[in-house]
Every structure is written in structure tokens, then in C-alpha cells.
Amino acid sequence: MTTTQSKWLDAELKYDSGVYNKHHVVMTRGLGATVWDESGRSYIDCVAGYGVANIGHSHPDVVRAVKEQVDRLIVMPQTLPNDKRAEFLGELVGVLPQGLERVFLCNSGTEAMEAAKKFAITATGRQRFVSMKRGFSGRSLGALAFTWEPKYREPFGDAVDNKNVDFVSYGNVEELRAAITDQTAAVIMEPVQGEGGVRPASAEFMQEARRLTKEKGALLILDEIQTGFCRTGKMFAAEHFGVTPDAMTLAKAMAGGLPIGALAMTAEVADRMPAGGHGTTFGGNPLSMAAGVAAIRAMKREGMAEQAREKGAYFMERLRAIQSPKIREVRGLGLMIGVELKEKSAPYIHALEHEEGVLTLQATPLVVRFLPPVTISKEQIDTVIAAFERVLQTVDPRAERRAELAQGAEEKQSE
């Protein structure tokens, strides 16, 4: 394996920090729901940059907007107003649920969670939080405190300060009621848990979370970083449940692929944060703003929410029709889909990539997750289904494990 590696792969493996389990492939181009590696091989991309490329890779409107903006202005801090930023804020607030009319701009989902934490504390004068078991909120020390899975937190010990966080079972109204007190600043939850295994919330749980937070003077903060921007068949997943939060964290698909993040909130939440209380250098940069304007307009013009709803229903119907004793459950909302297997999903994800040219991702060890661009065609969905059926039949997890161990040994030797 090592001798046939390209110089690009060699360099990444050599210089990277080592926190990523890198696939042995070098991706060089993308368009719509297709990406190509350096040898010219094409893949149907159901990873989409972890749910970033909702409107497809290199959407022509985003490409044009970025090209135009790059010639005009790339950086401008937020103390200095900028035409593209103003335009973006107008577009964003225009699609947000009613009542969310103020925005803190940043560069990633994790940063949006950090902002949510600080704004919730200043808005309520309280410091306790309720988060969800199986929830995922990001990797910074502050956001990690809301992340349930111990493997993300434990290596960093007490530096992850989650003494002030109570975790409740996602969907358990009784536990939620017991956890929310008059010390609670906010309840934080994903409308569909992503990393936790693609689990949609029940309407009852979401509505109770809304009611109980209001009753106790706490905020309801929805993490729509993965679910937002048409992924689930609505512009925001909260719309499925008839719930309007006090704040929403946004990132991933918001700028058609460029780095961006935001905390959207009510005026009451925003108004209690003092000037200078938070900030970031790259947040609201004109380049991401131009891309964001183009992306949100494309979502509206091309009816991307409707497309995600229809294609997601079709995708899940086809998955549910697969007859395989290896499948435990097919779950999801719109084009955020998970298939829970009765065994580890990694060998299947590996085979889909290598043998079938289909990129998928894991969500918990048992789940194969599909987050394709909303622009994926029915024919591409059919191809993915056929590929998945084949790997379910051909992959022998024990043989795969032996091959993995053998490959690991080979790599060790060649070092």
C-alpha cells in the first residue's frame, strides 16, 4: 500500500497532527453530489463535508459570489460595517423562525456553541445547563462540557468543566422535568441527534422542553448546526416540531461550503450581553458572507427543503425495503439518515468507499450515516442503494477485521 501512495497522501500522513483516521485516498474536485480523487475515480458523496455541502459541491452561485467578492474585499472586522455582512444578516434573519432576530457571527459550529453558552449566562444570570445523553456539541473545552460521550471528554480531565451540566435521556420528559430548575440557564439539544446515531426527537419531548424552560425562566437553545439549512426537509428542523427556541446555533451548510458559524437569538438574549463581552476576528468576514447570501438564496430558489423532504422519503423507503438480517433500524428526517446495523458499521463504510465509490460516515459504532447533498439525483440514490445492498451481502466483518489487522502490521513495518 505504502509504495503506491501519492506524494499528497504521503505529505498528509507525515505532517498532520494525527487526530484524524485518514482514508488512503486524495480528493481533488467536487461538483453537486459527486467528488473525484486524484486518479479521476468518482464517488457519490453522502458525507458532503459532514453535512456542509447541502446545496452541492461548488454550487455555481456560490462560486460566482466568492469570485466576485474575493476581488473586492476579503477581511473586515465586525466593528466596521460591511455591505455583504449586512446583506447576509438580512437574508439569514429572513429565513429564521419568528422571534430570532439578532445574530452573533463566527466561523464554526463549536464557536457557535461557545457563544450560546456565554449569551445564555449573561441573559439569565445563571450558570447551570441541561444537555442530552448522546448529544454532540463540538470539541472546544467549553462545547465539550455539553457533549455526552465520555470518550470525547475524558482525555482532558477536569479541564472540561461539566460540573454545571446535567445530562438527561433524549426523549425522557420525566428526567427533563426533574433536571430543569430555577438555576438552569439553558437546555441545549439537537432536534435530530447526529453524531449520537441519527435520532430524531419526538414532538412531545421538544414541546415539553419549550414549555418547561419557559416556566422556569431558562432558555431553550437548539443546536441546528447539522440539521439546519434544509437537511431535514425544512429550512430548520425546529419547524417540524412547531417549536421556536430562544437561540439556535448554526454553521455547517450556511455558506455553501465556506467556514461560518452563528448564534441566532431573540433580542432579549442579545441585549443582555455587554458590548465587548464576546467577539472573533474572522467572524462575519465578507468572503463567507458573500457565499452565505448566495447559498441561502439558492436554497430558497431551488426549493431545497422540499427536495430534501421528497428525496429523503424516497431514500428511506428504499433503505427500509432492503431485506438484510444485518439491519436493525432505518432512522432519520429528510436527508439526514442513519442505518443501525446489528454489528460494527466500519467494514461496510470502508467497502462502500473502496468497492462501490460511495462515501458515507459513521455515527456511533453501529450506524452508517448518509448526509448527501440535497441536489443528489434519484439515479444516484438508486446507485447508493444497490451498492449498500451489495456490501451488506458481501462483507464478512470477521474477514474485514483480519485484513485491517494485517494492513496495520504492514504499515508498522514500513515505517
**Positions that interact with ligand PLP (CB under 6 A):** 108-110, 113, 136-138, 190, 194, 223, 225-226, 251
Closer by beta carbon to ligand PLP, 153 or else 318: 153
Annotated ligand binding at 139? The verdict is: yes
Annotated ligand binding at 276? The verdict is: no
Closer by beta carbon to ligand PLP, 114 or else 356: 114
The distance of closest approach from Cβ of residue 253 to ligand PLP in the complex, given in angstroms and rounded to an integer, is: 11
Closer by beta carbon to ligand PLP, 47 or else 251: 251
Annotated ligand binding at 394? The verdict is: no
The distance of closest approach from Cβ of residue 153 to ligand PLP in the complex, given in angstroms and rounded to an integer, is: 14
> Nearest residue by C-beta to ligand PLP?
109
Closer by beta carbon to ligand PLP, 367 or else 385: 367
Cell representation of residue 206: 421538544
Annotated ligand binding at 136? The verdict is: yes
The distance of closest approach from Cβ of residue 57 to ligand PLP in the complex, given in angstroms and rounded to an integer, is: 18
Query: For residue 305, which amino acid is it?
Result: A
Annotated ligand binding at 110? The verdict is: yes
Query: For residue 196, which amino acid is it?
Result: G
Annotated ligand binding at 16? The verdict is: no
The distance of closest approach from Cβ of residue 325 to ligand PLP in the complex, given in angstroms and rounded to an integer, is: 31
Closer by beta carbon to ligand PLP, 362 or else 377: 362
**Residue ranges at the known binding site for pyridoxal 5'-phosphate:** 109-110, 136, 223-226, 281
**Residue ranges at the known binding site for substrate:** 139, 280
**Residue ranges at the known binding site:** 109-110, 136, 139, 223-226, 280-281
